[in-house]
Amino acid sequence: MLTKNTFRSALLGCAAVAILGACSGADGVASPGVGAFVPAPAPVTPPPTTPPPPTGPAPGTPAADCPAGFSNVGTVSNRRICQLPSTITGNLVVPQRAGTIYSVSGRTQVGTDLGPNPLAPLAGGQQGILTIEPGVTIFGNSGLDFLLVNRGSQIFAEGTATAPIRMTSRQSVEGTATINSIGQWGGLVINGRAPTTDGCPVGVTPPNIACEAQVEGSNAFYGGNSPSENSGRLRYLQLSYSGFEIAPNNELNGITLAGVGSGTTVEYVQVHNSSDDGIEIFGGNVNVRNIVLTGNDDDSFDTDSGWRGAAQFGIIVQRDGGGDFGWETSSRGTNTADYFTRPTYSNFTVVMRPTTTRQAIVHNTGHTARVYNSVIRSTANQACLNLATAVTLTNPNAVSGNGPLYNSVFFSCAGGNVIGSSGVTTPQAEAQIALGANNVLNGTSTLTNGIVNGANENAVTATAFPTTLNAGTGLSGTNTAVTGFLTSVNYIGAVRNSTDTWYRGWSCGLPGETPC
């Protein structure tokens, strides 16, 4: 259901003050010269000095107050809780401070909706820019606590490999979250102005600025016709125990990217134990890389509504207690016949739980994926891949008149390699996979530590990305936003060998790594 909402907000400012002190001293010895003895001068007692003021609270104690612009709402686990304002306009910095932790309460939004057209913003809309410093932790108390970035606003959550930003639940902060904890707070939603197939008026074909819709979970609007728009940067971010069902089929995910453009940076990001999808993308042209998706209860990576970006270097590991598909890729929307979802995936390693009743990957409703250089493993009695609905194979915009195309993908699933369903026969699905090169069907997995390539995976020849990869992306000419994003490699899978450690230090919960 599409209904228009209008938001109003008040301007809130912020400031962060750090007090630093230092002192130094020096000793000297004077030479008496040669040929005579000169008595040493009487010792001088230095005047008393005042020690510098402390730079923060003593270790293990809460900060005394909160930065300007934040509400002091108590303490948790020996840290001062500083709550973000419900609507952030202007610039707000969330500083890393000793003895301080931050929280969101209810719908916490960055800016108010500025509409689909950057040249004609909605009257009354206001921009917000949220910057989160490395090492900051932000938590929610319940499933209705979530962070929303509206169209025309930005988030800059940039941690480092040694000081990632954490977004998590109160239970995680208190140390009571368990291996199967999910849905303890809402999550992160980013809405942009890039094209979508959703919400198009009758007779309007996407991509079109008139195509806009409300994203699930928040009911905030996304969409437009700005493929390269910039909603900010997410780097070295660990988001855990999120997701919440607002109503049936209306859920908050771990991270929702709706109509987000290719000018946005999303890399070195983990979603752990979301009750719904780990990352779900609705339309847009955003690219993502170096992502870790662990323990998510629904699909780990879900794409809909005309997404035309790329995803490279991804680790998906389900937990024993939950998980649906590794990928669910579809073209749900009101104009899918004209503007199919058309992403590119490369260098993924997908490891399914042993008791699943799902295939590792499902493509449906006309999704025209390109999948390169990846490893799919399932010890359950399920196939690796399910090609569903006849339109998935007959989409006229796909390469050679066919749907999903696979190259250099290593299938190792106890239930076989590929099946068809919902109007697609298994022989048709197998013929589609046969169009690609260097695929290994019914392979024997030699992954070590659950995710690191072994001899059999590294024996597969990688496939280079063709220059025609990005035709039909909705952009004029070649989509350099995708070709310039993808990194050429000579191996398959997300983790080449034991020296390939891009996921270490900032993520948690992977086999053999630090628990979450």
Residue 8 belongs to some domain of the structure: no
Instruction: Give the total number of structural domains in the chain.
Output: 1
Question: How are beta strands 154-158 and 232-240 bridged, if at all?
Answer: parallel
Contact 240, 139 (CB under 8 A): no
Q: Residue 418 in 3-state DSSP?
A: strand
Distances (CA, A) of 293 to 83, 241, 279, 349: 28, 12, 8, 10
Mean pLDDT of 456-482: 70
Q: How far apart are CA 450 and CA 227, in angstroms?
A: 37
Residue 295 lies in a domain: yes
* 333 domain residue, yes or no: yes
The answer to whether position 428 is within a domain reads: yes
Q: Find the angle CA(282)-CA(286)-CA(290) to the nearest 5 degrees.
A: 110
144, 170 contact by CB (below 8 A): no
Write down the pLDDT at residue 321: 85
**How far apart are alpha carbons 304 and 275 in whole angstroms?**
19
| pLDDT tens-place string over residues 183-214 | 999 999 999 999 999 999 988 988 899 999 99
Residue 6 pLDDT: 40
Token reading at 291 = 């992502």
55 in a domain, yes or no? no
Q: pTM of the prediction? A: 0.87
Question: Please, are residues 480 and 362 in contact by the beta-carbon 8 Å criterion?
Answer: no
| Residue percentage of the chain with pLDDT more than 90 | 69
pLDDT score of 462 more than 50: yes
Q: Does the bond joining 343 to the residue before it have cis omega, within 30 degrees of 0?
A: no
Least reliable range by pLDDT among 310-319, 329-338, 392-401: 392-401
Instruction: Please tell me the distance from the alpha carbon of residue 378 to that of residue 376, in angstroms, as a whole number.
Output: 7
| Res 218: pLDDT | 83
50: enclosing H helix or E strand: none
* Cα–Cα dist 90/73, whole Å: 23
> Other CB atoms closer than 10 Å to residue 352's CB: what's the count?
26
Tell me the C-alpha distance between 5 and 16, whole Å: 33
- What residues make up the domain containing 127? 71-483
Res 38 pLDDT > 60:
no
Residue 244 domain flag? yes
Quickly list H helices, 305-400: 391-394
Over residues 42-96, the pLDDT tens digits come to 444 455 545 455 557 887 899 999 999 999 999 999 999 999 999 999 999 999 9
Residue 3: predicted pLDDT: 39
Instruction: Indicate whether 76 belongs to any domain.
Output: yes
**If you average pLDDT over residues 405-428, what whole number do you get?**
93
In a domain, 309, yes or no: yes
Calpha distance 224→208 (Å, rounded): 6
- Which range is least confidently modeled, 19-33, 39-53, 385-399? 19-33
What is residue 22's predicted lDDT score, i.e. its pLDDT? 38
Arithmetic mean of pLDDT over the chain: 86
What value does the mean pLDDT take over residues 130-139?
Answer: 98
